[in-house]
Structure 1
Amino acid sequence: MEIENLIKDNQGTIVDVRSFAEYSGGHVAGSINIVLNDIPARMEEIKALKMPLILCCASGNRSGQAQQYLAQQGIECYNGGSWMDVNYYQSKK
């Protein structure tokens, strides 16, 4: 399924992997912040989230790294790219 449709249909959970300071400066409404480097330590919490995960960051680089790691752990997830893009898709609901 296309990421845009997942977001518009309110499927899954939007996870922002930027730093807390970046997230505090602006983020997608309803998203949660799990910093990229904290993902391995927070796997139990991540497994309990509504799937699939739509990952975002500033440019798509860190969310791509998170997507690769989480997919290896068996987590259904997608790289949504920039949080601004994800925010735009959500605004089209």
Structure 2
Amino acid sequence: MGFFDFIFGAKKQQVDDYIKSGAVIIDVRSQREWDAGHIEKSVHIPLNELKNRVDEVKKLNKPIIACCASGVRSAKAAKFLTLKNVDAINGGGWVSLQSKL
């Protein structure tokens, strides 16, 4: 994955591969952003809560696709989860990610 893919989101093929392997989409935006719209069946865990909820993510026992509004917060989430031994990628902005599904 190149630098820009890491920061702004995975490519369609990588997203497809993760979805096929049963990945869970985690939306790390704020509650207000989530309430304004989100990907159906995604899980809402705001970035500022992720550290305290990492065990909840691990219990999913699935690969993770993190998303946010633009890809910056989801890049941070994916990196954090990877450091916690969770298979995670940055899906980028949720609208863009939704178009890849």
Bin the TM-score by the shorter chain. 0.7 to 0.9
Report the CA distance between 1:50 and its aligned residue: 4.2
Corresponding residue pairs, total = 89
The Cα RMSD (Å) is: 1.5
**Match of residue 14, structure 2, among 2, 6, 9:** 2
Point out where structure 2 has 5 or more consecutive residues left out of the alignment. Answer: 1-12
Cα pair 2:21 2:63 within 8 Å, conserved? no
Partner in structure 1 of residue 4 of structure 2: none
TM-score where L is the length of structure 1: 0.87
Cα distance in 2 for partners of 1:28, 1:77 equals 17
Bigger helix share:
2
Cα distance in 2 for partners of 1:75, 1:88 equals 25
Report the CA distance between 1:12 and its aligned residue: 1.1
Report the CA distance between 1:3 and its aligned residue: 1.4
Partner in structure 1 of residue 93 of structure 2: 82
Partner in structure 2 of residue 68 of structure 1: 79
Point out where structure 1 has 5 or more consecutive residues left out of the alignment. Answer: none
2:49 is equivalent to residue 41 of structure 1: no
2:67 is equivalent to residue 51 of structure 1: no
For residue 78 of structure 1, give the secondary structure of its aligned residue in structure 2. Answer: strand
Percentage of identical aligned residues: 36
